[in-house]
Structure 1
């Protein structure tokens, strides 16, 4: 019995112990669940305020710039070609690639022997033609004198015939005398006709002599021109290019020797789109004589040059679009024909436009404005031009408003923001609010900063330096107190 009683007591104590352990485990589990529930309970959140960079929309007068790419070329360039064939006997010292020559300077001289012989032979022919002309003139004068003598003799024969007729009528003369006088008059008339024929031949000979003389003079002029063509001179002051000849070389007629380029008469040719071309037209349809700035990028530095648009191409090339414009340059320092340059064209000025950063405008041509409650609102604007990193817009209700300079996907209508003037804008930022700390408060903040092991050393040094000053920024104090918990 005693063993049974002790066994039952042990069983009872074991059951009680197990019950107590189960109860304790339940209490621990409920306590952990409550703890976890309290940890997952999020504190009430505050509305997030975004800091945005803003610019003030100030309407004004802007002159947009049109950017294009073009090529430099010379308005005056000449191909130097050989006008006569032969051997080059003289070559200018400046006749080389890139050399500058003056107007009228002798560049090339071709062997003039053959041309000189031709001139001398034709000069002799000219002397013969002049002698022939003089002989024809003398013959003409003699023919005229002979005709006058024959006419005088005819007149005498006519008077003699008339006298014989008068004598016959009075019965004094005979018929044979009349016939003799009549035959003599007919012979005199025939002599006049012969002299007239000789005069006509003499006049024709004079005409032929003059024609031969004129032809000889023309041939002499051509020969002298050929002789002068053996000497090639520069028509204007310029620079030689594509030189392809040496002294002693044999050249043929019309062979290209070099190219002469006027480096002081440069222009730039560039292509613009049709809408851009339309913006450069005046109301009467004439091309606007816009000012251009041409720049050549040389290892990071530019060679700028001013110019003015003078004309546009007469036709559009096959398979091409847009328009080709020409601008005359002024004092093109450092530029050479063939250079590819950047052309900036100043378009006619636009009134009542606002210049904004390009990031302030979205794809739908909308900008974000900051209202009086520092919340964002959207405004539709008209995009007029894109100018590099800026845009020129126009819109109702935009003047004087603060515009968000850089849009992000987090910004939208109704969001609370803290506007900050954009760096470089005309708005002057407000200086930070400064607060004078008491000795106990300063010591408490310094101790917190020095005891913070997670703060970087450079940040800790900067904060301690600020805390040791007589006045400390209020924003820094507020940030430290939030981290300290009060």
Structure 2
């Protein structure tokens, strides 16, 4: 059996052997394109090359630091030292009864918080016993006066009898002498002589007795005189006790405390009222040692009694306080240091300021009074005899230092704060240790400095010279670069940076 072969049609697919050739062509085309792109990139990189920016020269930093300064102004006049205080009584009196008795009358003002006037009767004690004692002593004094009169009469009578006794003694003596002369002439006997002698002795004895009597009467009179003086002293004491039955207020003031009532009995020495003197008040404030330095150095020192020999001046001050929305003030003066020195509890000086006029009048109808226990502000006007300066507050640097421009050099000077007011402070500058520095030509630096050092060069903007035109032009050329299109490139921060084009 034979097989018949039919011819192939033109629409039949191409033989399989033609497919690999097409794949090769595609690969070759892709490789050629890739190589061309790489070549173009390499050509472009080679053509353009790498571009290095020119060196940009920065202007040299100035050796002088530009600062802002203000004039260093010396302070003239007093400085205000601020402190707080409390009002204390200027004087407080405690009255006590000097005699015992029952209260028969009492003042209506003898109540805590009321005002009593000087000389006002506070209480009256029952005076009957003291009146009787006065009458008894007066009667005794009258009796002693009568006894003195009687003694005077006795002395006078004895004196007259003494004169008679003296005459009798003289007669007896003459009689004895006459008898003795007769016996010598043998005109009288010895017995007559003895009789004359006995008569003379009797007259002499009578005279001596009268003289002794007179001396006794004189001594008795002196005793009565002494008793009379004692009675007069007792009478004065009794009259004083009688007067002490009425107790009056010695000062004008406010009754702080009262402990008695009418018809009550009080013993001798019983304290019954405490009165606060309102003629003046004192303000007690504690000042530190730094504050006391400026008070002690104030002009016009005086030695105050009761201050342990410490010399402090009569520094004026102003006491202020607020009552609601209003501020009242009182002038005061430093009176003394309360105590012998520093308070061991607070390590401060307790100072007392005296206010002579405790009333503060704001208008004809309104006034306020400083009362005990009131918390007040004390502004002390010290006038120290030292050189002080007035600076703006922002010129004070940390550590209480200031920066000064002394002949174009920075000087860091420690300061001592004295007073502060609003935006200014008053300070004392530490004196320079070298003779080349002087505060007379110094200015205080108020602007900040990043790294201040002693002696660095400083200057103000007005002292710096303006840049020349050539220097400005050179700086402009060094900091500006033009690209191929005529557009200025932006400057960079470093001349060593490279930019890929």
TM superposition score category, shorter chain reference? 0.5 to 0.7
Which residue of structure 1 aligns with residue 18 of structure 2?
Answer: 2
Tell me, yes or no, if the aligned pair for 1:59 and 1:353 is still in contact at 8 Å.
yes
Question: What is the rounded CA distance, in whole Å, between the counterparts of 2:459 and 2:290 in structure 1?
Answer: 41
Unpaired runs of at least 5, structure 2: 1-16, 40-57, 304-310, 360-368, 432-436, 463-501
Tell me, yes or no, if the aligned pair for 1:110 and 1:230 is still in contact at 8 Å.
yes
Which residue of structure 1 aligns with residue 486 of structure 2?
Answer: none
Which residue of structure 2 aligns with residue 124 of structure 1?
Answer: 139
Tell me, yes or no, if the aligned pair for 2:400 and 2:416 is still in contact at 8 Å.
no
Cα-to-partner distance string for 1:82-111 (whole Å, 9 max, x where unaligned):
111222111112222233322222111122
Question: What is the rounded CA distance, in whole Å, between the counterparts of 1:167 and 1:157 in structure 2?
Answer: 15
Question: What is the rounded CA distance, in whole Å, between the counterparts of 1:277 and 1:370 in structure 2?
Answer: 32
Q: 1:133-172 to 2 correspondence within 5 Å? A: 133-172=148-187
Are residue 360 (structure 1) and residue 360 (structure 2) matched?
no
Structure 1 position 222, deviation (Å): 0.9
The alpha-carbon distance between structure 1 residues 338 and 377, as it changes in their structure 2 partners (threshold 3 A), is same
Tell me, yes or no, if the aligned pair for 2:117 and 2:249 is still in contact at 8 Å.
yes
Structure 1 position 194, deviation (Å): 1.4
The alpha-carbon distance between structure 1 residues 133 and 265, as it changes in their structure 2 partners (threshold 3 A), is farther
Question: What is the rounded CA distance, in whole Å, between the counterparts of 1:398 and 1:21 in structure 2?
Answer: 79
- SS of the residue corresponding to residue 61 of structure 1 reads coil
Structure 1 position 355, deviation (Å): 0.4
Which residue of structure 2 aligns with residue 176 of structure 1?
Answer: 191
Question: What is the rounded CA distance, in whole Å, between the counterparts of 1:388 and 1:358 in structure 2?
Answer: 8
Question: What is the rounded CA distance, in whole Å, between the counterparts of 1:159 and 1:110 in structure 2?
Answer: 76
- SS of the residue corresponding to residue 262 of structure 2 reads coil
Which residue of structure 1 aligns with residue 242 of structure 2?
Answer: 227
Tell me, yes or no, if the aligned pair for 1:167 and 1:173 is still in contact at 8 Å.
yes
Question: What is the rounded CA distance, in whole Å, between the counterparts of 2:141 and 2:330 in structure 1?
Answer: 59
Which residue of structure 2 aligns with residue 202 of structure 1?
Answer: 217
Question: What is the rounded CA distance, in whole Å, between the counterparts of 1:406 and 1:118 in structure 2?
Answer: 91
Is the deviation greater in 357-366 or in 276-285? 276-285
Which residue of structure 2 aligns with residue 328 of structure 1?
Answer: 354
Which residue of structure 1 aligns with residue 329 of structure 2?
Answer: 304
Question: What is the rounded CA distance, in whole Å, between the counterparts of 1:88 and 1:235 in structure 2?
Answer: 19
Tell me, yes or no, if the aligned pair for 1:383 and 1:391 is still in contact at 8 Å.
no
TM-score normalised by the chain length of structure 1: 0.68
Which residue of structure 2 aligns with residue 242 of structure 1?
Answer: 257
Structure 1 position 225, deviation (Å): 0.9
Cα-to-partner distance string for 1:97-155 (whole Å, 9 max, x where unaligned):
23332222211112222222222232332233223222222222223223222222212
Are residue 319 (structure 1) and residue 344 (structure 2) matched?
yes
Structure 1 position 366, deviation (Å): 3.8
Structure 1 position 416, deviation (Å): 9.7
Tell me, yes or no, if the aligned pair for 1:305 and 1:330 is still in contact at 8 Å.
no
Tell me, yes or no, if the aligned pair for 2:75 and 2:426 is still in contact at 8 Å.
no
Is the deviation greater in 10-19 or in 273-282? 10-19
Which residue of structure 2 aligns with residue 111 of structure 1?
Answer: 126
Question: What is the rounded CA distance, in whole Å, between the counterparts of 1:405 and 1:243 in structure 2?
Answer: 64
Which residue of structure 1 aligns with residue 418 of structure 2?
Answer: 386
Structure 1 position 17, deviation (Å): 9.9
Question: What is the rounded CA distance, in whole Å, between the counterparts of 1:105 and 1:358 in structure 2?
Answer: 58
- SS of the residue corresponding to residue 109 of structure 1 reads strand
Are residue 260 (structure 1) and residue 275 (structure 2) matched?
yes
Cα-to-partner distance string for 1:416-453 (whole Å, 9 max, x where unaligned):
9989xxxxxxxxxxxxxxxxxxxxxxxxxxxxxxxxxx
Structure 1 position 294, deviation (Å): 3.4
**Equivalenced residues, count:** 402
Tell me, yes or no, if the aligned pair for 1:109 and 1:230 is still in contact at 8 Å.
yes
Tell me, yes or no, if the aligned pair for 2:158 and 2:213 is still in contact at 8 Å.
yes
Structure 1 position 66, deviation (Å): 3.2
**Bigger Rg, structure 1 or 2:** 2
Question: What is the rounded CA distance, in whole Å, between the counterparts of 1:360 and 1:126 in structure 2?
Answer: 89
Task: Pick one of 375, 380, 383 that aligns with 1:345.
Answer: 380
Structure 1 position 232, deviation (Å): 0.5
Which residue of structure 1 aligns with residue 109 of structure 2?
Answer: 94
Question: What is the rounded CA distance, in whole Å, between the counterparts of 1:139 and 1:273 in structure 2?
Answer: 83
Tell me, yes or no, if the aligned pair for 2:406 and 2:439 is still in contact at 8 Å.
no
Task: Pick one of 188, 203, 225 that aligns with 1:188.
Answer: 203
Going by fraction, where is helix more abundant, 1 or 2? Answer: 1
TM-score normalised by the chain length of structure 2: 0.66
Which residue of structure 2 aligns with residue 475 of structure 1?
Answer: none
Which residue of structure 1 aligns with residue 365 of structure 2?
Answer: none
Tell me, yes or no, if the aligned pair for 2:66 and 2:458 is still in contact at 8 Å.
no
- SS of the residue corresponding to residue 164 of structure 2 reads helix
